[in-house]
């Protein structure tokens, strides 16, 4: 070792120690305790907790809005659809747009992490158990009259002949699916998603229905589309009409 390199390495060590020493300077935040800028948050769990759990439930279920932790839903919607909806929201419903260009707070990268994270955290590779996938969105308008027939076959035993709800057992009652106030809060896609994916925690089967054995029957794409059309045909343009009522009763 030459004198020159000894001096050099000594300088390096001293310098290194001096820099390291600064890390412990009073008032300097310890590593790991610094709060990053919001757009630097790049992991799924805290992103989901901060932005989504309030409506969709802490583990993707049990919230007021649809459960996202449903493997059948996740296998049908996929990353691209969930990314689009998370980004721009669903107009006319409580689902806001989260991306910066839709007026939200999240970067495109964060929206992607959320969509992909849901699939990784809650999806199952064999969610559909070999069944063919159903198209997430419908490419055609349904036929409401045909939809009523499909509803009678697949839904009426739990939701009542006319969709107004029924009592399943002591613990379970289904609410009305044809109440205009309810329909004014959900999109057709949301109805379709629920029919496709079911509500496993509440005992509602997915589109393959829960008939099993010989003659087992799944709903067809057309029957799903028609059922949504029949439910949607109960929508009113101005549900509740609060302003009209107020104007006609001036006090």
- Which stretch in 9-17, 19-27, 183-191, 237-245 sits in contact with ligand HEC by CB under 6 A? 183-191
Q: Identify the residue among 60, 66, 107, 148 touching ligand HEC (CB under 6 A).
A: 66
Our finding on whether 232 is near ligand HEC (CB under 6 A) is no
- Interaction mask 120-149, ligand HEC, x per CB under 6 A: ------------------------------
Residue 101 CA: distances (Å) to CA of 47, 49, 55, 81, 105? 18, 22, 22, 17, 9
CA distance 126 to 131: 10
Q: Identify the residue among 160, 180, 203, 239 touching ligand HEC (CB under 6 A).
A: 203
> Residue 218: is it exposed, middle or buried by C-beta count within 10 angstroms (0-12/13-18/19+)?
middle
Burial readout 182-208 (b: 16 or more C-beta within 10 A, e: otherwise): ebeebbbbbbbbbbbbbebeeebbbbb
Sign of CA dihedral 175, 177, 183, 187: positive
CA distance 189 to 182: 14
Closest distance of CB 78 from ligand HEC, Å: 10
- The residues in 96-115 that bind ligand HEC, with binding defined as CB under 6 A, are 98, 114
Residue in 90, 96, 88, 87 with CA at minimum distance from that of residue 54: 96
| CB nearer to ligand HEC: pick between 6 and 120 | 120
| CB nearer to ligand HEC: pick between 15 and 108 | 108
| CB nearer to ligand HEC: pick between 38 and 54 | 54
Q: Identify the residue among 189, 221, 222, 233 touching ligand HEC (CB under 6 A).
A: 189
Instruction: Give the tokens for residue 61.
Output: 């279920």
Enumerate residues 6+ apart whose C-beta is below 8 A from 97: 87, 88, 89, 103, 104
Q: How far is CA 114 from the centre of its chain?
A: 10
| CB nearer to ligand HEC: pick between 95 and 127 | 95
Q: Identify the residue among 138, 159, 206, 208 touching ligand HEC (CB under 6 A).
A: 159
Q: Identify the residue among 204, 218, 221, 233 touching ligand HEC (CB under 6 A).
A: 204
* Distance between start and end Cα atoms, the chain: 99
| CB nearer to ligand HEC: pick between 17 and 80 | 80
| CB nearer to ligand HEC: pick between 90 and 132 | 90
> What is the contact surface with ligand HEC in residues (CB under 6 A)?
51-52, 54-56, 65-66, 68, 77, 82, 85-86, 90, 93-95, 98, 114, 154-155, 157-159, 172, 174-175, 177, 186-187, 189-191, 193-195, 199, 202-205, 227
């Amino acid at each position: 070792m030459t004198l020159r390199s000894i001096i050099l390495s000594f300088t390096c060590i001293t310098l290194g120690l001096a820099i390291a020493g600064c890390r412990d300077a009073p008032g300097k935040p310890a590593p790991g305790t610094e709060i990053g800028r919001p757009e630097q948050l790049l992991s799924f769990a805290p992103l989901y907790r901060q932005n989504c759990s309030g409506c969709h439930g802490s583990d993707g279920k049990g919230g007021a809005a649809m459960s996202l932790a449903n493997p059948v839903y996740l296998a049908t919607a996929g990353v691209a659809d969930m990314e689009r909806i998370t980004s721009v929201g669903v107009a006319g419903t409580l689902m806001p747009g989260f991306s910066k260009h839709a007026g939200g707070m999240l970067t495109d990268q964060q929206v992607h992490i959320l969509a992909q994270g849901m699939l990784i955290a809650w999806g199952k590779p064999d969610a559909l158990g070999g069944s063919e996938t159903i198209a997430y969105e419908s490419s055609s308008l349904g036929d409401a009259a045909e939809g009523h027939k499909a509803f009678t076959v697949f839904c009426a035993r739990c939701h009542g002949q006319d969709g107004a709800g029924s009592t399943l057992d002591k613990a379970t009652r289904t609410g009305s699916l044809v109440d205009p106030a309810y329909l004014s809060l959900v999109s057709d896609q949301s109805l379709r998603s629920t029919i496709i994916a079911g509500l496993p925690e509440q005992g509602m089967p997915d589109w393959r229905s829960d008939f099993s054995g010989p003659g087992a029957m799944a709903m067809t794409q057309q029957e799903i589309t028609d059922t949504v059309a029949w439910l949607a045909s109960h929508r009113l343009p101005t549900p509740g009409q609060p302003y009209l009522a107020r104007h006609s009763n001036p006090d």
